[in-house]
Chains A and B, each alone.
Chain A
Amino acid sequence: MLNSNCIALIPLLPIISFLIIGLAGRRYFPKFSGILGTLSLLTAFILSAIVAFQYFFEVGKVDGVYQKIVAMKYVWLHLLPNVSIDMGILLDPISVMMIVIVTFISLMVHIYSIGYMHGEPRYATYYAFLSLFTFSMLGLVLSTNIFQIYIFWELVGVSSFLLIGFYYEKPSAVAASKKAFIVTRFADLGFLIGILVLSYYSETLDFQTLIARLTTEGPYLSSIAGASFIGASALTWGLVLVFAGGAGKSAMFPFHIWLPDAMEGPTPVSALIHAATMVVAGVYLVARLFPIFSHSCPQALDVVAYIGIFSSLLAAVIACTQTDIKRVLAYSTMSQIGFMMFALGVSGYGGEEGLGFMASMFHLFTHSIFKALLFLGAGAVIHYVHSNEMKDMGGLRKLMPITHITFLLACLAIAGIPPFAGFFSKEEILLACWNSNKIIFGAAVLTAGLTAFYMFRLYFSIFWSKEFKSHNNNHDDGHHGEAPATMLLPLIILAGLSVVAGFVPFSQLVTSDGAGFATEFHIGFALGPILIAVSAIILAWFMYSKESLVPQKVADSLKGFYTAAYRKFYFDEIYLFVTKKIVFNLIGRPAAWVDKNIFDGFMNLLASVTVALSEAIKSFQSGKTQEYAIYFFAGTLGFVLLFIYLWT
């Protein structure tokens, strides 16, 4: 039986290690902090694995349907007579899957960082922040309450801010962390208002009650669907606004601009937060509310689908032109999350109708493994080369054989080559699109092809191409390129999983309604995308496996479009223009000016008028008897004349 104390330990262990390392570890045992954090995460991972095993195979299933189990729930703030914010733990297939993913990837990153961050002066602080992030993320996925998820959502945001800005002495890192926080904050405003809208009509914040009330016909559903605002119902507004929050965290268009810059953080952080876990929070949020989207508001689901596919394609195009390897990976992350989003967007609810939902969760699962691997591999490369730029790399396959093999496996997985993990999940997504929306299907196949191309462009540029020439004399012997064991171990584990993760029977475990269904493998359908991926890889081999002028020629022939894609379609510039020019100059500056000159000016005017007035009349009180005498006689005379005038 599930032990709720055991489950509560999963998020509590990281926060305890955060407190210990943060308060004592930094001063008294900095070197040991990494081990401490890793051990606590290892325990959390083992507990998650046990919980997952028990949930999926022992207690979770009742009559063939996985149940939602509230393991614990406490009232945190009782805001209205029938609305309260609770803190609790909700177990269902997606949350159980997520705790396993989060603790596992986090554990890998913890182990990897022991080697990667070795010698960093703020080593203990780094582990404290990692623990804080893991706690927040676990709290997020286990939430029973939409406000609880918002609370942890913000905490995840701040942990991400702290980790992106970890090298706070670098202005670029500070700028990136600010950008990430502010952009996601803006999106979270939508989330908050969405919560207010949904909770106002449904009179609850609790997920299960909320879903029950908004999916069954009744007073709640009719009131929220009946209330309309600018042409859409309150339900549509609420869901779209909540999705806006999700789009912010998951770097969907138009909130995607923070993700590439977020790569300023240490590379293991990029692997954990900005590739495998935090950025899928938006997908998780939509999945959590999926019954409402699917059952009551297909329009909102369409928004999810089209934003997803657009972001996915946009990111894939940009990824083909970037030269910083972490940025290529960042755009590829955005593109893959787009896959998860539109898979949800085209999905129906229940049984095989819910293929898209299952595929989305499946892709989330496999993606987190191979994308973490790609980032950690990239980290090993950067660790060795001391540069993020492709032009400084090349020919590394001989120097870093293990990294090379693991990276290749990850590339094959993300490109969708069978039998690697990404193939299966992507195949299911494409099938779900084919069944419901042919336009999205076409764009998705194109994006999948681009994915294979830019990933192998990356792979060939790093490991093949020209011979590696080190700028650093320490590497001159040329045979000590491989990273330390603590870094290689996670790479090897993740590579192994990238090969086999596709065989997990997801359609039996994680589905939209909890009931399993059988998936069929259509070889004819799978063949097309495989051929496209293979030809894209061959194209990449042709262009990038040796140093040649071909890429430059291609870029020149596509001049305008290439430059636009290289400059990320000018989104940064547009946003900068809006904030700097419009918000600062047209709102901020006038507000400050008005305050200083109008309101304060009025007060000062009041003061100076008073002063002037008293200046004017103070001469009446001069203390000179002669003057008083004059005033006296003049006054008397005046009165006398006045009386005479009045009398006559």
Chain B
Amino acid sequence: MTNLTILIIVPLLTAIAVLFCRSSAQVKWTSFIGSIIQLGLASSLMYAYISERAMGNTAQMLFQQRYSWYSALNIEYYIGVDGISIAMIMLTAFVVSAGILISWSIQTQVKEFFFLLLLLSVGAYGFFISLDLFTMFFFLEVAVIPKYLLIGIWGSGKKEYSAMKLALMLMGGSVFVLIGLLATYFSTDLGNGIHTWDLMKISQIHIPLQTQLFIFPFLFVGFGVFTALFPFHTWVPDGHSSAPTAASMFLAGISMKLGGYGALRVAMYLMPEAAEQYSWIIVLLATIAIIYGSFATLMQKDLKYMNAYSSVSHCGFILLGIGMLTKTAIVGAVMQMVSHGVMTALFFGAIGMIYERTHTRQISELGGLLKTLPFIGTVYVITGLCSLGLPGLSGFVAEMTVFVGSWQRPDAFHRIATILAAASIVVTAVYILRAAGKSVMGPIVNEHFLHLKDASWNEKVASVLLIAAILAIGIAPFWLYNLIAPDAQIIMENIARAGLGR
């Protein structure tokens, strides 16, 4: 599979097909089959990519396609992938398939729900393959707006407030991104007043330091909002908690990674000198997010709020890895994107399954679920163990790679940041075990729990899919590392070159 456009076409066609379905069963099966085809396509893309690399193809981006889209503004539909994008595409394929399976019991407005979910995935796939800044921004917006509807219509709790908050904050982030992108566009003069949105071309141009210093904050903060950059993280807890299960999975699993990916691919890659100058601020904010997020998690009483805050803490590792500016740390950041994406999707999936049966997410009202819901309880424990960084599961590998990479910065500031970030794994253990110990272990607190039914086939398949991904990364991390490392190397070289040029 080397035609990348298919990655956008398939979910789009599935979404359109869903509109023509007659019954909700048809809707579900169409979406499911579409997502499985997509998973197959993503896997074969990864296979094709790895074999191209094995055959010695050293081009930075493979499988490129380029069509003029709006020539007056030099906007092109320009796509291509490297190892980092491949990893993100696989993540998206896994999370979307699992999300569709988990949503099997949606009752109201089934057609619209699945349509919007598939539309979101179109945005995510498009974003990860774009090499044209405008096309990238276009897909970023596609991946934002349906969330408002998903939360507002199918959500729970104070859903209108959360939907509005999430949409406005993400739109605010997008505005920053747009300003940054426009400024980038106008600072690229190819001669004769012609500008370009071409990411690869811009990376070759030396943008003056003063301009970089102006543009970088817009791009980084804009993308940072998506990935819960402190202090722009406040949409995360409310948004995740009010969203329906599949939307939470998508939001935490993929949407937050759009920001990390953008910050790395656009902000860091195109503005290397500014990245170096501002990196200490990134490290500072990321460390605050990690520590502060984990302590805030400690005090949460609702399972979903807990997981949302822990996402703030875990996404801090992504930004920390990026801000450390060493190759290993950047690889670790990308691994953390993938790992956290799968893990947190499973976490929200498990919480959704529990909520659907017990109708509560309050930790104090839950207890002893392992007895009556052995499958779901086990899934919850496994994902919790992944979250607290158990070796053999994905979280450990990603975090350790970030730590080792960060430790290569020998000055006191970076050392202290690394130690504080590492200290958060103890706090993580505390809140994970506290929640697991109360809600799935311990005595059964409610008579009503004795009659609950364990996971259905679709929930089992979804969980197994995500657990398989967690184990594949956790037990054999080298394939993911080897996939990402060369491209992290390129980003680092760009930064090093900029440093020398000064």
Contact = CB atoms under 8 A, between A and B. Distances in A.
Nearest to A595: B296
A151 B474 CA distance: 11
A537 interface: no
A610 B403 CA distance: 42
A633 interface: no
Interface in B406-447: 407-408, 410, 418-419, 422-423, 425-426, 429-430, 433-434, 437, 441-444
A192 B403 contact: yes
A578 interface: no
B300 A592 contact: yes
A185 B401 contact: no
A585 to B, nearest CB: 10
B426 A168 contact: no
Given A154-B390, A155-B391, A587-B295, A78 B422 contact: no
A76 B168 contact: no
Contact of B295 (A80, A591, A603): A591
A112 B309 CA distance: 45
B426 A186 contact: yes
A77 B483 CA distance: 12
B167 to A, nearest CB: 12
B206 interface: no
Interface in B122-165: 165
Interface in A155-193: 155, 158, 165, 168-171, 174-175, 177-178, 181-182, 185-186, 189, 192-193
Contact of A189 (B233, B392, B405, B423): B423
A174 B441 contact: yes
A121 B430 CA distance: 29
B408 A155 contact: no
Nearest to A168: B441
A199 B309 CA distance: 33
Contact of A178 (B300, B389, B433): B433
B328 A80 contact: yes
Contact of B385 (A158, A168, A591): A158
A77 B401 contact: yes
Nearest to A187: B426
Given A174-B437, A200-B410, A189 B292 contact: no
Interface size class of B (residues with CB under 8 A): 35 or more
Q: Which of A169, A189, A595 has its CB near the most chain B CB atoms (within 10 A)?
A: A595
B396 interface: yes
B217 interface: no
B481 A78 contact: yes
Interface in B206-247: 231, 233-235, 237
A79 interface: yes
A178 B434 contact: yes
Given A76-B478, A154-B396, A599-B234, A588 B298 contact: yes
B390 A155 contact: yes
B299 A182 contact: no
A589 interface: yes
A182 B401 CA distance: 22
Interface string B293-330: 00110111000000001000000000000000000100
Contact of A158 (B231, B390, B403): B390
Contacts of B233: 599
B385 A193 contact: no
B368 interface: yes
Nearest to B405: A79
A151 B391 CA distance: 6
Contacts of A178: 433-434, 437
A182 B442 contact: no
Contact of B443 (A76, A171, A177, A196): A171
A72 interface: no
B391 to A, nearest CB: 4
B493 to A, nearest CB: 14
A181 B436 CA distance: 13
B437 A600 contact: no
A171 B434 CA distance: 12
Contact of B169 (A152, A169, A603): A603
Contacts of B391: 150-152, 154-155
A607 B299 CA distance: 26
Given A591-B292, A591-B295, 8 more contacts: A150-B391, A151-B396, A168-B370, A170-B443, A174-B442, A181-B429, A185-B425, A189-B426
- 7 A-B pairs with least C-beta separation: A592-B299, A168-B441, A151-B391, A591-B295, A588-B298, A600-B234, A196-B407
Interface of B: 165, 168-169, 231, 233-235, 237, 292, 295-296, 298-300, 309, 328, 368, 370-371, 385, 388-392, 396-397, 400-401, 403-405, 407-408, 410, 418-419, 422-423, 425-426, 429-430, 433-434, 437, 441-444, 477-478, 481
